[in-house]
Amino acid sequence: MNGVRDEVVLPVVDDLDQLVDLLRETRPDEEMYIRWSRGPEIDLCGQPGAGQSSKDALTGIDLPGLSANPLAVEPWWGGRPLRLWVARRLYDYCHLRDLRGPGVRPWVLVGEQCGRGPDNEPLVHCRRPVAWVSERALREADRVVEAQASEEWGPLHRAD
């Protein structure tokens, strides 16, 4: 990328199982994240890490990396289904597509954490965009999460 916002052509993860497979195939030295935005051609400019920032909605300050949601499975998850883990990671921030306007959708990236944001979210420098996540995969994630029938759990949305 040369700072002129080159078009980034990415494959599309069309269902939840494809995303699970992608996570399983991640190399041990790579960290995979989900980012909700208008995409890598907007978020990335220049070299990996250069010019990559999110903005804190409360203060307007530029953050030193892209807000993203890690896909790495935590040890406490144990032997629970990876499919549920991935569904939950998508579901957590699904409100952002409505909150941030047209064109906002999830995409997968390989990156490295460079800090924490004001909501304690990882801030990352993208090393490599990987794929878009389709609406079909998002609908599957919704169904998987809703099948848990939890009265006490929902997306991480402040406005509700």
- In this prediction, residue 62 has a pLDDT band, given cuts at 50, 70 and 90, of confident
Domain extent listing, the chain:
12-146
What's the number of CA atoms in the CB half-sphere (13 Å) around residue 51? 13
pLDDT category of residue 59 using cuts at 50, 70 and 90: confident
pTM above 0.85, yes or no: no
Separation of alpha carbons 3 and 19, rounded Å: 29
Q: Within the chain, how many helices (H) and strands (E) appear?
A: 5, 6
Q: What is the pLDDT of residues 69-124, one digit of tens each?
A: 999 999 999 999 999 999 999 988 776 666 667 888 999 999 999 999 888 889 99
